[in-house]
Structure formats: structure tokens, C-alpha cells
Structure 1
Amino acid sequence: MQPARPGPGLPGPDGPGREVPEHEVLIVGAGFGGMGAAIAFKRLGIDDIAILEREDDLGGTWHVNHYPGLAVDIASVTYSYSFEPNPNWSRLFAPGPELKRYAHHVADKYDLKRHMEFGARVDSAAWDDDARIWRVRTADGAERTARYLVTATGFLSQPHVPDFPGLKNFRGKILHTADWEDDFDLTGKKVAVIGTGATAVQLIPEAAKAAESLTVFQRTPIWVVPKVDFPIPPPVQRMFRRVPLTQKAARVVNTSMLELLMVAGVLHHKQLKPGNKLAELLAKAHLRVQVRDRELRRKLTPDYDFGCKRPTFSNTYFASFAKPHVTLQTSGIARLEPDAILAADGTRIEIDTLVLATGFNLWDVNFPAFEITGREGRELGKFWRENRFQAYEGVTVPRFPNFVSLNSPYSYSGLSYFTTIEGQMKHITRLFGELRRRGRDTFEVTEAANDAFLDEMTDRLQSSVFYNGNCATSRSYYFNQHGEATLLRPSSTLRTLREMDSFPLSDYEFR
């Protein structure tokens, strides 16, 4: 590969003998986050962009996940770029394949596909302070160089497979929801599903329709509220196309409702505890209507506060357990046998298909998703795990020059991931615009700015359900190894977008 000259957006090397990187910007990940970052750079006039994606197509989670029942759990008018509305959603909560098509539409419209390389797994990245470039190594042993590195590997990209005793001895079919085989039919199968998180809530009703028998192993119950879902009729779709303002209005209404749930029920639990309890009552009423058996309701009712763990929406999940061939097992797993699971209470359940809805390994291997080494040999994952998880504005980290991380501590804002993406696009635009204005090519957030932001986030979270509510039994991925809830940014959507577009430029050093 021939070294590429810097694009018109930013100045090139300013010293004799400086190595010219192959790319101005290298983005790891071709999901919605990576595409959003690429769009922000292209708007700045930077076209020398490489997007490396380990999978064989774009779309991120909407490419990897295609299990039965997959759909968004945020209304589609909100779960999309605000600057690129899609008037063709078939339902209020669009099924997964429509999100994949939307991703391709965005990539085509913004000319992103020519920047993408698939099957390119990044193993490590290291900052070369002398050359002021990133050296990125891929699984094939090749090295790429770039002036700026952006990680957009997603929050849920490393599937978690628990090491159950006897798992290797099981002779039946094993499926993980993040590695589903579309040609595998559950019809007539004796199925066990392990897990009752948001993914399982979508999958279990579909499995219950097809399986001869279905046993669901639950470690922690989940709060589930009714799902107000319906097809979007063609006349409404035509109206969205002809009068885009109507779709924007629908987005504002839905976003406002989500904001109320997030801000009132989660972030300001201390001040607005009755709102949190109202959400719990709604979920309990929903459960009572669909499950008449008192003991089963008890098992399905969480004993932690609403919001400690991400709640979800479904009209069919609870009803599945009322079917005679569906069993809820809560005693845990003792071991797997070649044709069965032995539960901790001694019950032996014969199965031929094991479905792992066990989620993702978020804090152990996903922050970051590969080894990243900055100045003075600081390794990012080791730094986070031995200290505190932290990132200025959820985007940058001291001693990591020219590095932007889109899936970082305190970066997730609101309930729609697109709120996070668009806030980060604003941050990129402001930061790189200043870099260009000053005629510099290297940036790094200061230790003082990072520390002040971490203190502010810690202080704001004190009113949240995570620290004021009862979350001890939630086993929530919101909490890291240190017991801190460092995933969500404790701010309203409007405040986040404003802060990402107006942070003090003095918080960065430029050279």
C-alpha cells in the first residue's frame, strides 16, 4: 500500500524526515458509530479515511445479530441519525433487517463504502511519539499507519460465553445469539435458553412458538413494560417523505418520552423516586395481566430498582411462560451432560439445542476491544482496570494523542445510541476544526481537564438510581469491576449535545 498524502482538511507533517502515514484517519468499526465519525470527518474536508471492520459487512450489531425476533427497543424515528431520517420504517419498532438496510443506505449516500475494508481484525495500536502517528497491527500481521485513530468497536461487541461445567461434553447444537445460524430451525427441538436479558426477551417468544419444549434459565429477572408497537401505514410513510417536518415532530415526541424515563427514572432517582416506582408498578401490572400463577410471577419480578439494569419492552415475553411446554428454571446450572442440563436443584432437563443469550463481556475485554498503547507506554485497558474508568467527554484520554474513542466510560447518552453518536460527531467537528485553525496536527486532552470531567461525572451520578437505589442484585453491565456505573453520561440529551459542541478548547494541548 502506498503512503497517502494528508487530505485537505488538516496540515501535514511540519518537520523534515517525518514519516508520512498511510491514512489521515483510521477508524476501527463500520457500525453506526464508525460511519457517524466518518461523516463528521468528510464534512471537515478530510477524505483520506480507512475504516477497518472485522466482520464481512457493515452495520455493526445489526449485522452480527440476526436471531429470531430481533428488533430495535427504541422507536425507529429516534433510533436513527437525526440528519438522515428514514421515512420507510415498517413499524414503530423496526425489525433488525430494516436497520441493516438503513446502514447500507447511509453508507451509500455518504460515500463511505469505498473507505471500508472487511475481514480486517485489529489486534493492537501503538502511538509513535517521534513520528506522531499511530501504528495499527491487524491479525494478518500487517501494519497500517494513521495520523488519527478512532475506535468505534461498539459497547456490545465481545460475546460472553460462560464456562459452564460440562459445556464441552454437550453433543447437541449450541448457538449464541450473536452468532446465529439462519438456516437452523428450532421447530420440534428440545431447547434451553440461558439468559433473560433484553436479547432473550425478544428471542424467547419466537423460540416458544417453534420448540417442542423450552426451558429458560434465569439468573436475574428483568423489568419489562408493555410495548406500544404498530405498523406504520403507507400513507404515513408518504407523509414522512413529502413533509419531513412531520417525521421530525414524531422524533421530538418520542425522544421527549425517552428523556423523561431516563432523566427522571434513572439519573434523578434521588429527587424523583415516585417516578421510578410508577415505572415498577407498570411493569408489575403488565406481568400480572399475562401471568396468572403467583409463584411464577414472583420468580419473574426483579428485586432491584427499575433502571439499575436496562429495562425493555415486550408484549409477548411474559405470556410465553404461561404456555404448558415452557418452563422457567431459576436454581442455576450444575453442569451440562451430553444430552441434558442438570439444574442446581437436581432437576435433569433433556435438551438437544442450547441457546446462549448470555450477553457480552463489556468491562473485561471490551474497554477497549484491542490493545491500545499511548505515550510513555501507557496501555489503555490496564490503565482503566488498575485505576478508574475515565475519558474526557467520553471521547479522549490523557497520554493518548490523536486518539478518539467512541465507546468509552461516560460516553453513552440518553436511551438511543444515536444521541451518543451525534454528540461525538459534534465533539470531533469542534476539536478538529480548532486543530485546523491553529495549523497543528497533534492534540491531547490535558490531565487537569480529564480529572475535572471525571469529578463532575462522579458527582452528577450521586443522584442516580445506581447509587441511590437498590441495585445490589441487578448484576447490571452498567457497573464495572470497581462497582462504579461509568457507562452512562449523567446528562440530558440537550445538555450533552450542547456540552459536546462547546467544551473549552483550552482543555486540549495542540502541537
Structure 2
Amino acid sequence: MTDVRPDHEAVIVGAGFGGMGAAIEMKRQGVTDIAILEREDDLGGTWHVNHYPGLAVDIASVTYSYSFEPNPDWSRLFAPGTELKAYAEHVADKYDLRRHMEFGVVVAGADWDDDAGVWTVRTEDGRAITARYLLTATGFLSQPYTPDFPGIDSFEGEIIHTTAWRDGYDFHGKRAAVIGTGATAVQLIPEIARTATHLTVFQRTPIWVVPKIDFPIPAPVRRLFGAVPLTQKAARAVNTSLLEALMVFGVLHYRQAKPGNQLAALLSKAHLRTQVRDAGTRRRLTPSYDFGCKRPTFSNHYFRVFNRPDVDLQTSSIVRVEPDGIVVDDGTKVEIDTLVLATGFNLWDVNFPAFAITGRNGRDLGKWWREGRFQAYEGITVPHFPNFLTLNSPYSYSGLSYFTTIEGQMRHMARLFGEMRRRGSDRFEVTEQANERFLDRATERLGDSVFYAGDCSGSRSYYFNQHGEATLLRPQSTLSTLREMDSFPLEDYTYA
């Protein structure tokens, strides 16, 4: 191996919460020469890109945050997006991350040089940046999906994708349409309905919605959180336990705890029944798949929108877009002025990985995943890819809060880099045998989940990849995941 001095010890792609968590841990492990490359013009990931009306977390903020960096000043139980953006800025400042960040950099690809023992990261502006370690933190929901409806280019009105929201856009006097009824749409639709002259919601697949127990956090409680951090830690533990019960018993252990899953579905149906007057509308808003096949969401306002005379729910398939409206398969034409695309993200075709990555012996990661099986050891490393950590990868998402995933991966990094320090090495690679054992365990555990033991046939869920496998979630409890990240066999890696 040739002794090559790289431009940086580590390159991290992505300056959202995942990338910042990775940078914090790398610095804790003594890797301080870090470059964080971000394609957007500021940090924060999804909380910078998304700023549509109604944006808020769908996990209570005491849980949707780093456990080692609590924020006692959340204004509500479910904080608005602006507060998450401010929290990201606070973390970057406190942990001195900004000086490592470069914005407006689009990474085109990365290649491993086995002789030199370095990664070469290529950017779209023509640069080649070398690093000993490569970490991808490009997010699970970072590649927006724009449907290619026939005639969409002919539409003469406004088209707005939720990830490219036009701040201050005025829906007064507009006939609006929203395509999509996922978590983003559930937050956005009530906001548009307040001002639009008429709103048509195009629904392909209904979503399970449960009541949102949200309220302002009183100032005395916020002061208590600040003065006695243990109280906020206790609140986090309670909320995390509730989410864990929902995930483990309602989704991952569906076969053993089917009544719990059915109870959650009954809660959602009862919520729908109390909020929507028309029986026909309720039927169209009721999912035909089991609870948990798609990520459910929380709202107290979404269902009520469909009681309004100026809101229509359209469940017929879209045939084409015309200059002044949308035609559906029964021949109906819905005339509109503004088209809002709440059509989500493309995970499995372009996001895993988000750019071309070539490892040892010329292995193309995206091609290997798509032609074989999506896989990553402990949801973070891949054989034939030395010194590579993929932070948004198959089987990596643990629990319902993304921060559970981030902190589990930080623990894995700490154990791995600690062993490298002990050995005096600067190169690691997971063995194929260890990767296969993890993949076999994950596959076996998923057999009890709602994805395979339940009925997900009508869900069109992004949990499933193009092979029909549900390879996004790690099929374990949060506690067992964190234990494994702290104690995986060190011999599962080779070191040099």
C-alpha cells in the first residue's frame, strides 16, 4: 500500500442531523480533519429544505433530538420546523462544526483506491477531494420524487413541490390541488384549505392517522427542564417507551402481538369516524392495509378538512394534466390554478446510495444492491468498501425517531475506531461472513413483522424496495440495537 497523505482524514457528505452526529463522534475519536460537504446552501438537512406551512415534527421533540444535547426550550410537545432548524444551528455552533462545512457542493461520485488507501470524492464542479474515511449522511428522504404525468409540462398554472416551497405563496382566490396524502400532505392540506377558493386532494393510498396529543409546553416546565435536566430526561424516557411499544409490538412483532396492531387501527378508525361526517368519504379515507405497513402519522386537523364544502377528495387515477386542470380515469376534469406535489421521495432507485460509490475490486454499491439484495452490516458498513460508513442504509433505521438511529451509529463508530486505535491501524472493512450473518438475522426477524406476516399489499409503502423486501427498518428494539452497537464482535472487521 502506497503512503498517500489525503486532503482530509474524513469526508462526510451531508450536513443534516446524521452528518452532524457523525462529525461529533469522529471528533470524539480524534479524527479532527473533517470536511462536511452539503449540496444545499445551509445546514439542517430536511429541516432546512422543507419549510412548507404546517411543518412540524411527528415525533415528540423531547425524543426527536440528541439525548446528549437536550433542548429545554421547545415551545410545543411537537415543535414546529423552524425550531428544529434553530436546534440544528445550535448543535453546529456548540460542537464547532460550521468550520468543517462547505455548502453548495454536489457530490457526483466516490471511488476507493486500494493501493493508496484513500477515497476520492468527485464533485460536480470538477474537484477531486481525497480522504482516509468516507461517511455518507445524505438522509433517507433526500431525493424528491416528481411524477411524470402525461401533459404536466403543459400546465399553465403554478407547480410547487413541497421540498421547494415558495415562502409567502398566497392561495387566496386559487383553485388548488394537492397530489399525495403522506405525512407531509397531512400537515400541509389543512393549511392550504384555510385560504384556497377550492382544494382538491388527489389520494392514491389512504394513510393511517391517529390523534395528535400536542400542546404548548408551559414556561415553568421549560424552566424546570433547564434547571433540572433529569426531568427532561425522564420525559424523554416516557415518550420513547411509548414509541417503542408502538414500533416493537405493533409493527416488528405483528405475528405475536396482532391484537395490539388491530387496536392501533381501531384507534385511527375511531378518530376518523369522529372527525368526518360523510360515510362515503370515511370509506375512501380508510386504509385497506394493516396498520404499520406505511409510516402512520398524527393529526387533529387533517380529517376535518374533508367536511368542508370547498374541499374534494379525488380517488380516481390521474390520466393526464392539461393546461388548466387534471383529467382522471372516469373522464372528470378538475380545473385548477395551482398544483402542489406532495409526492414524497425516491428512496430505492436513486437514494441508496445518493451518488455513485465504487469500492474495492470495482464493486459499484448501487448496482450491487439493486442487482442483489440491499444490505449493510449493523446498518452502517459494507464488505468490499473499506473505511466507508453509510449512515442512511438498509436495515439502519431503528425505532421511530431518527435520532435513535444516529446515536446507535455513533456508538458503533466509537467501538470501531477505539479498536483501530488499540491496534494502531487506520483501515477497517467488515467481513463478508459477518455481513451475511447480520443479513440472515435481520431477514429472519422481519418474518414476524407486519410487512410479511400482515397484509401490506395495498400500501405502496416506501418501506419496500423494488424487490418487494422491507429492508429499511432494523427489526429490533431500540435497547437491543444500542447494546449490539456497543458490543458487536470486533473480529467482524479486518484491520490494516
TM-score bracket relative to the smaller structure: over 0.9
Q: Provide the aligned length of Structure 1 versus Structure 2.
A: 496
Structure 1 residue 360 and structure 2 residue 345: aligned?
yes
Task: Report the 3-state secondary structure (helix = DSSP H, G, I; strand = E; otherwise coil) of the residue aligned with 1:91.
Answer: coil
Give the residue type in structure 1 aligned to 2:188. L
Task: Report the 3-state secondary structure (helix = DSSP H, G, I; strand = E; otherwise coil) of the residue aligned with 2:447.
Answer: helix
Task: Map 1:477-496; keep pairs closer than 5 Å.
Answer: 477-496=462-481
Counterpart position of 2:422: 437
Structure 1 residue 423 and structure 2 residue 423: aligned?
no
Task: Map 1:110-121; keep pairs closer than 5 Å.
Answer: 110-121=95-106
Task: Map 1:87-486; keep pairs closer than 5 Å.
Answer: 87-486=72-471
Shifted more, 75-84 versus 433-442: the winner is 433-442
Cα deviation for residue 140 of structure 1 reads 0.2
Cα deviation for residue 76 of structure 1 reads 0.2
Task: Report the 3-state secondary structure (helix = DSSP H, G, I; strand = E; otherwise coil) of the residue aligned with 2:220.
Answer: helix
Cα deviation for residue 445 of structure 1 reads 0.2
The runs of 4+ residues in structure 1 deviating greater than 3 Å are: none
Task: Report the 3-state secondary structure (helix = DSSP H, G, I; strand = E; otherwise coil) of the residue aligned with 1:463.
Answer: coil
Structure 1 residue 26 and structure 2 residue 11: aligned?
yes
Q: TM-score, normalised by structure 2?
A: 0.99
Distance 1:89 1:133 in 2: 42
Distance 2:231 2:266 in 1: 33
1:453-492 per-position Cα deviation (integer Å, ceiling 9, x unaligned): 0000000000000000000000000000110000000011
Distance 2:86 2:3 in 1: 42
Task: Report the 3-state secondary structure (helix = DSSP H, G, I; strand = E; otherwise coil) of the residue aligned with 1:292.
Answer: coil
Distance 2:45 2:200 in 1: 30
Cα deviation for residue 441 of structure 1 reads 1.1
Distance 2:173 2:483 in 1: 54
What percent identity do the matched residue pairs reach?
Answer: 75
Cα deviation for residue 183 of structure 1 reads 2.7
Structure 1: give runs of 5+ residues left out of the alignment.
1-14
Q: TM-score, normalised by structure 1?
A: 0.97
Cα deviation for residue 347 of structure 1 reads 1.2
Distance 1:96 1:352 in 2: 27
Give the residue type in structure 1 aligned to 2:122. R
Cα deviation for residue 187 of structure 1 reads 2.0
Distance 1:279 1:155 in 2: 26
1:67-86 per-position Cα deviation (integer Å, ceiling 9, x unaligned): 11000000000000000000
Distance 2:245 2:166 in 1: 38
Give the residue type in structure 2 aligned to 1:27. I
Distance 1:430 1:475 in 2: 38
Give the residue type in structure 2 aligned to 1:179. A
Cα deviation for residue 188 of structure 1 reads 2.0
Give the residue type in structure 2 aligned to 1:64. V
Cα deviation for residue 19 of structure 1 reads 1.5
Give the residue type in structure 1 aligned to 2:302. Y
Task: Map 1:60-99; keep pairs closer than 5 Å.
Answer: 60-99=45-84
Distance 1:330 1:432 in 2: 52
Counterpart position of 1:6: none
1:259-299 per-position Cα deviation (integer Å, ceiling 9, x unaligned): 00000000000000000000010000000001111100000
Give the residue type in structure 2 aligned to 1:80. S
Distance 1:183 1:239 in 2: 36
Give the residue type in structure 2 aligned to 1:267. L
Distance 2:347 2:327 in 1: 28
Give the residue type in structure 2 aligned to 1:433. G
Distance 1:380 1:345 in 2: 43
Structure 1 residue 503 and structure 2 residue 488: aligned?
yes
Task: Report the 3-state secondary structure (helix = DSSP H, G, I; strand = E; otherwise coil) of the residue aligned with 1:321.
Answer: helix
Distance 1:188 1:487 in 2: 42
Note the aligned Cα RMSD (angstroms). Answer: 0.6
1:96-154 per-position Cα deviation (integer Å, ceiling 9, x unaligned): 00000000000000000000000011000000001000000001010000000000000
Cα deviation for residue 360 of structure 1 reads 0.1
Distance 2:434 2:255 in 1: 28
Counterpart position of 1:12: none
Task: Report the 3-state secondary structure (helix = DSSP H, G, I; strand = E; otherwise coil) of the residue aligned with 2:487.
Answer: coil
Distance 1:292 1:192 in 2: 22
1:364-420 per-position Cα deviation (integer Å, ceiling 9, x unaligned): 000000000001110000000000000000000000000000000000000000000
Distance 2:231 2:18 in 1: 26
1:28-68 per-position Cα deviation (integer Å, ceiling 9, x unaligned): 00000000000001111221010000000000000000011
Task: Report the 3-state secondary structure (helix = DSSP H, G, I; strand = E; otherwise coil) of the residue aligned with 1:308.
Answer: coil
Task: Report the 3-state secondary structure (helix = DSSP H, G, I; strand = E; otherwise coil) of the residue aligned with 1:174.
Answer: strand
Give the residue type in structure 2 aligned to 1:233. P
